[in-house]
A and B are shown apart, each in its own frame.
Chain A
Amino acid sequence: MNKGSKIATRFLLVWLLMFTLVTGMYGQQQRFPKPEFESGYAQPHTLTPEPRSTAMEWLDVAVLTAVMALSAWFVLCKRSRQGILWLSVFTLLYFGFYRDGCICAVGSLQNVALSFADPSYAISVTVLLFFLLPLIFSLFFGRVFCGAACPLGVIQDLIIVKPISMPSWLRKTLGLIPYIYLALALLFAATGSDFLVCRYDPFVGIFRMDAPFLMTILGVAFLLTGLFIGRPYCRFLCPYGVLLNWTSTVSKWHLTITPAHCIRCKLCTTSCPFDAIDRPTDPKVIKGSHDGAKRFLVYALLIPVWMAAGGFVGFKAHIRLSKANPDVYLAELLITHPEVKKDRDNIDVQTFLSSAKTMDQLVEEARGIRRKFKYGSTAAGAFIGLVIGMTLLNQVIFRRNEDYVPNNGACFSCGRCMDFCPVERKS
């Protein structure tokens, strides 16, 4: 038994012998003990700049609340599009460029999901508030968060130049995407695999002025699309928007196009860049849909079928989906391609091999994660099935509208339509 480099350092150690003999047993044992300086050397301190304080997090919560409250006031009482616009600019600067897009309500839903699935994950109060406050506001005042307090929303809102109206079939179909994204985001967050929403946030890179190449391209693509299609991310991707849509649909108060009563002048019809204005229902149309009742019945009965199909597909997909988890991926890689163990450049494999973790432990962990995926993915599939079924069913339900009214679920409360209404405010 030999210890080689000890020999190489012999001279240094011998020099320190006296010191070692005195304190050797009690001092922290190091290969090269810290010397005792004779020249009165003053040791510098290790620099550890403090993180942003918790108080500042509360400031963020306060700012968010204030912006939403102001936005609700501008939309419901003041009826001022100008106010919303300037509030948007403030949000873009504060939550966007100053706070670098993080902390954000959209991403917070993943923290909540993870804290539900993993009791050891601690969620901080401020993050929970960021998740809940916009929903609470939306339950009372509509999506005032989207209109002026969401940095992702306002950056798209501010660059709308010439919005084109999309046919309703396309909107409805693309409208399924956020539900699928929500289901996947929750699944990945709850299994502790990934925060998809944060990872593929197209705008956060712009706020930070620093992003990987592909994410920059994605962000610019969204913005360029946004010149002509109002808020593409909010309408066709945002998973948090799904929840806000639900709460806003039943909101207590909501933006109205007209301050008094609608005169059906149709002036507002082209004002909404998001096609979120419902037209008055034509009684003839409702009468015309004579097979509506039959369809309603069929679609309603189909819902369990959709859910079962979705659940089945979800169950089938759980193996593929769980491969996105790094641990599962590594375990399977080592099982199917044991030759990667010889690949010195594969950092993950090499680090695992030199760790104290055994293959058995890794595989056991991976199996645990896959088990979570099995249940999660089945539930996600059933949810997607339910959404498809409900969306279909919605297409044969007619709500009686007398006037031109905002679609409470889809309306972002940006207030553009208000300026188009020629009706004077009641004094």
Chain B
Amino acid sequence: MTMNIENKLTLSRNVAVVSGIFCLAVSFLLLLNYWQVSRFDPLESKAMEVLVERLSENPDDDALKNDIRNMDLLARKAYFNSHWQIRTGSYLLLFGAVLFAFALRMYHSLKSKIEVPEPHGEDELQARLLSQKWILISGAAVLILALAGSHASVNHLTSFGTGKPGESLPVTKAEENIEVIEVGGEPVLQSGDSLLAADGSAADDSIGMLAGDDESPRSTTTPAGEMSLPATSGAETTVNFVFPEAGTLRAHYPAFRGAFGNGISAHKNVPVDFDGPSGKNILWKVNVPLAGNNSPVIWGDRLFLSGANAQKREIYCYDRYGGKLLWTASASDIPGSPPTSPKTTDDTGLAAPSVTTDGNCVYAIFGNGDLLAVDYNGKRMWARNLGMPDNHYGHSSSLLAWKNKLYVQYDTNKGRKLLALNVQTGEMLWETNRNVKISWASPIMANIGGKYQVILSADPLVAGYDAETGKQLWSASVLSGEVGSSPAFGEGLVFAANEYARLVAINPSGGQVVWEQDEYLPEVASPVVSGGLLFVATSYGVLACYDAKTGEKLWEHDGGTGYYSSPVVADGKLIIFDTEGKMQAFALAREKNLVSESALGVKVVTTPAFANNRMFVRTGNALWCIGSK
């Protein structure tokens, strides 16, 4: 059977019409589906979130669980169904469109007869003139529009770097917000030769000179705050940097675990008999505005620490005699500082590294990588951001300053480095890449063979770096895991340890392991070595004493709940706080001799700081001063 032209024409027309309508209908459905999905994504359902939220409040609500499961199933069905619909719809649309195009072509080719060719066509000359006109117009229009469109655009890149970073210094003088908490008696206000010590140049290397400090507290008529408050009023004071000698450092308590971070205090008459709850021998206790797990450091009459929350980062300066908050320096408006704080665990927090000082400035680093120096009036000297540390617990390594350099251990998941910055300008002097994994330990400084070294402990290397150049002098591949304990130096040996790894004594002249032990290993607390004895405190509450030379275990003490606070040797005793705030003092002896036990009554995870007759402990939001009245 053959179709005549007329029939074919009708057929193709009908097919075109039907397929056209089909295409329109499918397109409409697809649009509807698209609109629905874009308006409400079944996988990001708000209702679901609300239900889950409710479940966390009533964890045992079985009906609620069932509701969630049903809704979850429905959401997934809706999601996959809509995808199936879109896919099927597009195939149908394609099919319809092909049919439509085919039928339409057919219809037109059947219908079209050979057209009568245009008798003249357009007037060639006329057309060319018109073309020239339009090309001129549109060519000019393109250029003018482009010019107009780009006229107002400003190159903002040139404006970067011209503004002075960190010029505004938010120094809030602490006034009303200081609160001296009465703990079992009058806060004792003292002053004295403290200002002398504040000046690095005035302090000489003899500890004896300072030994008389505080022995007979003198009450003064002037309030301590005013007395020790230096002139801050607007004067453009510049710090005359004087780099203290090692002995001067030891006379103060300038860093986490004292001078050079070695855990040894040179101060006398350290109080070991007190009681927090009853206020016995608690001279004062003040609130610290922002919490932090860093430990206090002391220079002369000033005590420094830091605190942070997700919004603010602050350095605090206290009058160590009266406990008055002298000033607060805020780490804000630092160029390159990330807008949001990193996620940290509560045990670490955003202000875990302790500040350090060298008698010139206070240096602080925070969990977001902000590093800054402020002078003793709280005026910012410099500030910079080292880049947000990629650290799953939070950055915790404390700072160390020696001569003109500030040392920063910056071991993160993204890069492991020891940095040295110019203390006066914050300029990066050198950085040494470390072939280790991320670590949390703080640097210590040691004079080995007449040369100062920065010693760091990490997985796997314990290594010494030339304090001048940053060159790695020696290393020992001995540790593993997540190293939080700092090394210790004494008896010519470097001691390092980590939980689940080992405790080693290393000869720093070549990095050879002299002895190793693995019975009691610290997790957080750092070891300390003094008088041939090495002390190690574990996070499950055992304090162990080893012979530093041989590694022979001399004694152990299962003391309490756990040690996060590092043991410190002061006044011929080993002093340590457990996590429940119980202080134990042991004699530095080869046999166990618990000299004293006192309780602060609150959780302690930081390491105490010492001055003659005084001990300072930071507990989260409070600062305690302990001393005999």
Contacts and interface: CB of A to CB of B under 8 A. Distances in A.
Direct contact of A and B (CB under 8 A): yes
A347 interface: no
Contacts of B134: 169-170, 172-173
B135 interface: yes
Nearest to A282: B124
Given A29-B480, A282-B124, A316-B147, A395 B131 contact: yes
A1 B484 contact: yes
A162 interface: yes
A16 to B, nearest CB: 9
B118 A2 contact: no
B101 A328 contact: no
A353 interface: yes
Contact of B115 (A24, A172, A270): A270
Nearest to B293: A2
Contacts of B339: 341-343, 349-350, 353
Interface stretch (B151-159, B183-191, B208-216, B594-602): B151-159
Interface in A25-43: 25, 29
A4 B127 contact: no
Interface stretch (B56-64, B238-246, B342-350, B448-456): B342-350
Given A270-B117, A392-B132, A335 B143 contact: no
A173 B118 contact: no
Given A1-B484, A359-B335, A161 B108 contact: yes
B139 interface: yes
Interface in B362-383: none
Contacts of B415: 356
Interface string B99-111: 0010011001000
Interface string A293-328: 001000000000010011001101111110100001
B117 A267 contact: yes
Contact of B155 (A3, A6, A29, A319): A319
A3 B108 contact: no
B139 A395 contact: no
Interface string B431-453: 00000010011100000000000
A316 B147 CA distance: 7
B233 interface: no
A414 interface: no
Given A173-B135, A335-B159, A3 B482 contact: yes
Interface residues of B, number: 87
A392 B135 contact: yes
Contacts of A213: 34, 38
A209 B459 contact: no
Contact of A388 (B139, B151, B484): B139
Contacts of A288: 125
A318 B153 CA distance: 9
A47 interface: no
A162 B131 contact: no
Interface string B375-393: 0000000000001101011
Contacts of A103: none
B174 to A, nearest CB: 27
B482 A6 contact: yes
B138 A176 contact: yes
B293 A1 contact: yes
Nearest to A360: B161
Given A29-B481, A161-B108, A289-B125, A269 B139 contact: no
B9 to A, nearest CB: 14
Given A363-B161, A370-B157, A180 B142 contact: yes
Contacts of A328: 157
A403 B388 CA distance: 75
A2 B396 contact: yes
A289 B522 CA distance: 100
A4 B484 CA distance: 11
Contacts of A13: 500
Given A3-B484, A321-B150, A331-B157, A173 B393 contact: no
Nearest to B147: A313
Given A20-B500, A335-B156, A2 B348 contact: yes
A359 B105 CA distance: 60
B154 A319 contact: yes
A180 B142 CA distance: 9
B87 interface: yes
B460 interface: yes
Nearest to A384: B142
Given A267-B117, A335-B160, A370-B155, A172 B101 contact: no
B284 interface: no
B347 A7 contact: yes
Nearest to B518: A21
A266 B118 CA distance: 8
B95 to A, nearest CB: 11
A167 B393 contact: no
A355 B138 CA distance: 47
B500 A24 contact: yes
Nearest to A316: B150
Interface in B318-342: 335-336, 338-340, 342
A173 B138 contact: yes
A285 B124 contact: yes
Contacts of B151: 316
Contact of B347 (A2, A363, A388): A2
Nearest to B104: A161
Chain A CB within 10 Å, residue with most, of B108, B131, B459, B460 = B131
A82 interface: no
Contacts of B524: 1-3
Contact of A269 (B121, B352, B393, B501): B121
Contacts of A313: 143, 146-147, 150
B39 interface: no
Nearest to A357: B387
B135 A4 contact: no
A125 interface: no
B149 interface: yes
Contact of A320 (B149, B518, B605): B149
Interface string A375-399: 0000001001100100110011000
Contacts of B605: 2
A3 B439 CA distance: 11
A176 B135 contact: yes
B411 interface: no
Interface string A166-200: 01111011001000100000000000000000000
B523 interface: yes
A3 B440 contact: yes
Contacts of B101: 158-159, 161
Contacts of A5: 345, 392-393
Nearest to B90: A209
Contacts of B398: 1
A358 B94 contact: no
B147 to A, nearest CB: 5
B296 to A, nearest CB: 15
Given A24-B480, A282-B124, A392-B132, A353 B117 contact: no
21 contacts: A1-B397, A1-B440, A3-B393, A3-B524, A4-B393, A29-B437, A160-B105, A161-B104, A161-B105, A209-B91, A223-B97, A285-B124, A306-B139, A313-B146, A320-B149, A342-B339, A353-B338, A353-B340, A353-B388, A354-B342, A391-B139
Interface of B: 34, 38, 87, 90-91, 94, 97, 101, 104-105, 108, 114-115, 117-118, 121-122, 124-125, 127-128, 130-136, 138-139, 142-143, 146-147, 149-151, 153-157, 159-161, 293, 335-336, 338-340, 342, 345-348, 352-353, 387-388, 390, 392-393, 396-398, 414-415, 437, 440-442, 459-460, 477, 480-482, 484, 500-501, 518, 523-524, 539, 564, 605
Given A172-B134, A353-B340, 11 more contacts: A1-B442, A173-B134, A209-B90, A313-B143, A320-B150, A354-B342, A363-B157, A366-B157, A385-B143, A391-B139, A392-B132
The 6 A-B residue pairs whose C-beta atoms are closest, nearest first, are A4-B347, A4-B345, A341-B339, A2-B347, A388-B139, A266-B117
